[in-house]
């Protein structure tokens, strides 16, 4: 049974209108040539959705701006807060700057220094906590004390309507599309993309790619309900929340055709592929979809026209070199 709730194509289109002044409609690039042939053969027609060129470096700005644009001036005035390993914090900081509201973001101590600096450069106040649980608790304290609005990194209708705009762009920009491959963390991106794409074109297959060391969506799907993980081990920190939420879980359950897990080594291989062929330095979570397409999904995608979402690029040169130098 479908569990779209209030998620509709009309809602996605209205969200696209609301967020258009603040985000980029990112390009679609038909991936051809020797690099593509080595990775996919000659029988997969691959298009890269380059969301790594988004204003905040990832898709996260879409969901945050979607939420913030719907707040009344009175609710918006005290500002926004949230918890993050980095990419959501940058999006919060950007959104606060773009719409003229204060932003106070709580980041985990393991957050990449470059992500901390990017959030700070947008004028946000940064607070550092030891882990995801304490960061979430601190953000909730800020809401209670300061009256700020908590913008969740992946859960909630307006957040997934925001990520749904990315799915809508894909089906509008690529004719006769057969499949979409998308990275999966807490499920916000996958939920929005898959639901919007299937509402527009029900025949499209949507595959989620998850790190082996952070399989929260696949474990939740197996359990039939959202679960919380106690052990996260992956270099893809942007795909590594220890939990999902009821909205994202339900939409992923109803609209993802499969979720495939990959080791970190596959993510590193995909990082090398993009750099060697297109000179793009992409974070591990940002290449998950590509890693899935050139790895375990390759046989399933034969003869298909496929959109592969490159969802983030927030990585510094030192970290990129460290990962790609691994054997």
Q: Phi/psi class of residue 279: alpha, beta or left (left: φ > 0; alpha: ψ in -120 to 50)? A: left
Q: Are strands 45-50 and 28-31 parallel, antiparallel or unpaired?
A: antiparallel
Identify the band that residue 190 occupies on the pLDDT scale cut at 50, 70 and 90: very high
- The CA distance from 247 to 239, in Å, is 17
Exposure of 326 in the CB half-sphere (CA atoms within 13 A): 15
- The CA distance from 241 to 249, in Å, is 13
Q: Dump pLDDT digits (tens) for 223-239.
A: 999 999 999 999 999 99
Segments making up each domain of the chain, as ranges: 9-58+156-324, 60-150
Please state the rounded mean pLDDT for residues 281-309: 97
Q: Return the residue matching tokens 């106690």.
A: 230
Identify the band that residue 44 occupies on the pLDDT scale cut at 50, 70 and 90: very high
CATH no. of 9-58+156-324 = 3.40.50.1100
If we measure between CA atoms, which residue out of 211, 85, 189, 83 comes closest to residue 136? 83
Q: Dump pLDDT digits (tens) for 237-289.
A: 999 989 999 999 999 999 999 999 999 999 999 999 999 999 999 999 999 99
In this prediction, residue 1 carries a pLDDT of: 29
User: Is the pLDDT assigned to residue 98 strictly greater than 50?
Assistant: yes
Which strands, in side-by-side order, build the sheet including 125-129?
125-129, 103-108, 80-84, 149-150
Protein fold of 60-150: Rossmann fold (3.40.50)
Give the DSSP H/E element, type plus range, for residue 262: strand 258-262
Q: Dump pLDDT digits (tens) for 128-185.
A: 999 888 999 999 999 999 999 999 999 999 999 999 999 999 999 999 999 999 999 9
147-150: long-range contacts at Cβ-Cβ below 8 A with a sequence spacing of 24 or more? 147/78, 148/78, 148/79, 148/80, 148/81, 148/102, 148/104, 149/67, 149/68, 149/71, 149/75, 149/76, 149/78, 149/79, 149/80, 149/81, 150/80, 150/81, 150/82
pLDDT > 70 in the chain, percent: 98
Please state the rounded mean pLDDT for residues 70-88: 93
Q: Give the DSSP letter of residue 299.
A: T
3-state secondary structure of 135: helix
3-state secondary structure of 88: helix
Identify the band that residue 4 occupies on the pLDDT scale cut at 50, 70 and 90: low
Whether 9-58+156-324 and 60-150 share one fold: the answer is yes
pTM over 0.85: yes
Contact 73, 98 (CB under 8 A): no
User: Is the pLDDT assigned to residue 3 strictly greater than 50?
Assistant: no
């Amino acid at each position: 049974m479908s569990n779209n709730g209030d998620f509709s194509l009309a809602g996605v289109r209205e969200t696209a209108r609301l967020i258009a002044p603040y985000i980029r409609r990112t390009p679609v690039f038909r991936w051809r040539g020797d690099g593509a042939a080595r990775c996919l053969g000659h029988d997969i027609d691959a298009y890269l959705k380059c969301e790594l060129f988004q204003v905040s470096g990832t898709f996260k700005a879409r969901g945050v701006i979607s939420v913030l644009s719907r707040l009344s001036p009175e609710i918006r005035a005290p500002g926004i807060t949230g918890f993050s390993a980095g990419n959501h914090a940058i999006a919060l900081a950007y959104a606060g700057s773009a719409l003229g509201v204060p932003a106070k973001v709580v980041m985990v101590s393991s957050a990449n220094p470059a992500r901390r600096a990017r959030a700070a450069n947008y004028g946000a106040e940064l607070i550092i906590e030891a882990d995801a649980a304490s960061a979430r608790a601190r953000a909730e304290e800020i809401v209670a004390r300061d009256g700020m609005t908590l913008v969740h990194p992946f859960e909630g209708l307006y957040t997934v309507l925001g990520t749904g705009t990315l799915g809508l762009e894909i089906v509008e920009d690529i004719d006769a599309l057969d499949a979409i491959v998308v990275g999966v963390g807490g499920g916000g991106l996958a939920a929005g993309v898959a639901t919007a794409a299937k509402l527009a074109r029900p025949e499209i297959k949507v595959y989620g790619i998850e790190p082996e060391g952070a399989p929260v969506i696949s474990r939740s799907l197996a359990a039939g309900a959202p679960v919380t993980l106690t052990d996260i081990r992956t270099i893809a920190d942007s795909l590594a929340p220890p939990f999902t939420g009821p909205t994202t879980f339900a939409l992923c359950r109803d609209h993802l055709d499969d979720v495939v897990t990959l080791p970190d080594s596959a993510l590193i291989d995909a990082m090398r592929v993009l750099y060697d062929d297109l000179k793009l330095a992409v974070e591990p979570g940002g290449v998950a979809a590509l890693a899935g397409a050139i790895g375990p999904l390759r046989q399933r995608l034969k003869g298909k026209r496929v959109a592969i979402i490159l969802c983030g690029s927030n990585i510094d040169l030192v970290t990129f070199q460290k990962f790609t130098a691994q054997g």
